[in-house]
Amino acid sequence: MKAVIVFDSRTHTTEKAAAFIAEGLKSFDDIEVRCFHIDAADFEYIQQSQLVIFGSPTYMASVTAKMKSWLESNAGKLKLAGKLGGAYATEQYIVSCLIRGGQ
């Protein structure tokens, strides 16, 4: 199964969370996972993926304006119908604690 994690990240916190999620997915047999910042998204790989996960920092209880705009302008190119999907949101302090193992 192909899986893709597409994220926006200004401070690399959401990018680190994407890598953390990808590591977990790779622990299952037969899952190929790639991560892309929205500025470098591989639309062909996204279209071929059976699992698509989106990640964004939260600002004012929402995704970034850049992520929202990217999703709206690329909705047709993503071909998401029939795919498994997921989403995650980050807050820098919480992700930092998780990556450090609570230390």
Q: What is the pLDDT along the chain (103 residues), one digit of tens a residue?
A: 999 999 999 889 899 999 999 999 999 999 999 999 999 999 999 999 999 999 999 887 889 999 999 999 999 999 999 999 999 998 766 656 666 665 5
Say what angle helices 13-26 and 92-99 make with each other, to 10 degrees.
40
pTM for the model: 0.87
Where in the chain are the domains?
2-99
Domain 2-99 has CATH 3.50.30.10: no
Backbone angles phi, psi at 10, to 5 degrees: -90, -35
